[in-house]
Amino acid sequence: MATGRFGADNQFCNAGAPVAGTVVNVSTSGPIRIQAVALLNTTAAVAFLQMFENIAANVVLGTTVPDMSIGLPASGGISFPIPDGWLMGGLNGLSIAGTTTSTGAVGAGIQVNIIYGG
């Protein structure tokens, strides 16, 4: 696979449907080095992207504490490069979910684009 602009080899993009109240895998093995992130809240209320250093099958929204939670304003977005990379994922990979609170279980739609390398 060709290396992209940020030196990353992979991309997670949910262009078909927003990430919402279901936990989805970004990577299912080992840590990843995130090089860039673009997020768009598709709801008219504040939303949070919860990030878990574990695969989706091991995460229970509202019970499993996220390793990171990124807040987004109503109908707003954010994008940022991470020049030195941001190591996330632990030994079991990385999963994400969009919710209405930073640690909750009620879904909120978020369009997600994550560029990463191994």
pLDDT tens, residue order, the chain (118 aa): 333 444 446 887 876 788 898 999 999 888 888 999 999 999 999 999 999 999 999 999 999 999 999 999 999 999 999 888 888 877 788 999 999 999 999 999 999 999 988 6
Residue 4 included in any domain: no
Residue 1 included in any domain: no
Residue 20 included in any domain: yes
User: What 8-state DSSP symbol labels residue 56?
Assistant: G
Range of the domain at 67: 10-117
Q: Provide the residue type at 105 as one letter.
A: A
Using only the alpha carbons of the chain, give its radius of gyration.
13
The CATH number of whichever domain residue 94 belongs to comes to: 2.60.120
Residue 3 included in any domain: no
Interatomic CA distance for residues 78 and 72, integer angstroms: 7
Residue 22 included in any domain: yes
Interatomic CA distance for residues 88 and 80, integer angstroms: 16
Residue 67 included in any domain: yes
Query: How many domains, in total, are found in the chain?
Result: 1
